[in-house]
Amino acid sequence: MIPFNVPVKTGKEEKYFLELMQNSKFSGDGPFTKKCTNWFDNYLSSNTLLTTSCTHALEMAAILIDIKDGDEVIMPSYTFVSTANAFVLRGAKIIFVDIRPDTMNIDEAKIESAITSKTKAIVPVHYAGVACEMDTIMDIAKKYHIYVIEDAAQGMMSSYKGQELGTIGDIGTYSFHETKNYHCGEGGLLIINNDKFKERAEIIREKGTNRGQFFRGQIDKYTWVDVGSSYLPSELNAMFLYSQLEITNTINAKRLVIWNKYYDGLKNIKEIELAYIPTDVVHNAHMFYIKLTSLSERTKLIDFLKTKNISSVFHYIPLHSSPYGEKTGIFDANDIYTTKESERLLRLPLYYELSFENVEYIIKTLNGYFK
């Protein structure tokens, strides 16, 4: 069976693990965390904090923008539960808006009509590492004086008009879950682009204490000064992630070659639709998906691919139709594309160690199926 995903391994993990054992520093903010943070600070030209997950990075963002009971947050329904949960935990009501059928991203043209006096933030989700239309979103946010929190969980090494995803809004987030292009099993990143959040973010991440200032010698003792939690990943996670940060360009290039092979090999099949990459957007080949004509056709194809030893999966069930989504949010205007497009989408295997021979086999199998 060709698996849907195989997490990246670089071969340096054992060497770095032995280095970590000799150092005997396993808790957060040790040498490998600092190496990762320095890498991201330089790469993104922003202030960054490594976290235990993208979920926790989003939760920190909700605290930073002071989400309270009754606040409203606008986002697409076609996203992972963490995007909404982070704000629901603080008492927010989620306002779901429709997606664009071409990119599966939030429809920027539907956002403004969903804004009320209670709107606190817009959360664009860069699906498949393909950027949302950020100029329009940022203009709307500026007009109404609301925050933009980028859920760029899938977006590392992707950009919009030359700017890295996660660095455009007030705050951005990355995921390093094992299904992502770069991972440490479970991990995330908080990207702080609005300087007013920098000091407080460090405090929230350290259980609400000013411990970071203490270790830098800025204060003579540390204490509890704000809300917070333990959002620091262990050095084991940071060590694993750092081994991949050293070869990000190599990993990215291989994934793009696979993505392009899929695209070239499947583009002439009339019965399917392929992903659309807008002009001025650079994507990271996070996933390769096709769209079938209907849910039933997708189910048939998944079953057929299993008989050919190929794993394929669909993706999110729209949040507004989930039991808890119905309790905590509403869908603004009409669900024209969210449900319909989500039922058509099928993801194919794409990972760093996927062989070109297997890619060609999958392409040949799909072409044969539709012929």
Contacts of 38 (CB under 8 A, 6+ apart): none
Q: Residue 209: what pLDDT?
A: 95
Instruction: Dump pLDDT digits (tens) for 63-107.
Output: 999 999 999 999 999 999 999 999 999 999 999 999 999 999 999
Confidence of residue 60 (pLDDT cuts 50, 70, 90): very high
Confidence category of residue 25, pLDDT binned at 50, 70, 90: confident
Do residues 165 and 140 touch, judged by C-beta distance below 8 A?
no
Each residue of 333-344: pLDDT tens digit? 999 999 999 999
pTM: 0.96
| Residue 174, pLDDT above cutoff 80 | yes
Asked if pLDDT for residue 210 goes beyond 80, the answer is yes
pLDDT value, residue 24: 77
Residue percentage of the chain with pLDDT more than 90: 95
Asked whether the predicted pLDDT for residue 219 surpasses 90, the reply is no
Structure tokens belonging to residue 97: 């808006």
pLDDT band, very low/low/confident/very high, at 217 (cuts 50, 70, 90): confident
- Give the mean pLDDT of the chain: 97
Q: What is the mean pLDDT of residues 136-150?
A: 98
Domains by residue range for the chain, with CATH = 13-245 (3.40.640.10), 248-370 (3.90.1150.10)
Select the more confidently predicted residue: 121 or 222. 121
- Note whether 120 and 355 are within 8 A (CB): no
Low-confidence winner among 24-38, 124-138, 142-156, 234-248 (lowest mean pLDDT): 24-38
Residues 77, 338: contact at Cβ < 8 Å?
yes
Predicted local distance difference test score (pLDDT) of residue 352: 98
Rounded (5°) CA angle 21-22-23 = 90
Instruction: Check pLDDT > 80 for residue 41.
Output: yes
Question: Predicted confidence band at 30 (pLDDT cuts at 50, 70, 90)?
Answer: very high
> Residue 262 — very low, low, confident or very high, per pLDDT cuts 50/70/90?
very high
pLDDT band at 212 (very low <50, low <70, confident <90, very high): confident
Q: What is the mean pLDDT of residues 142-156?
A: 98
**What are the Cα distances from residue 283, in Å, to 46, 52, 214, 354?**
20, 25, 40, 19
pLDDT of 197 higher than 90: yes
* CA 297 to the chain's CA centroid: 28
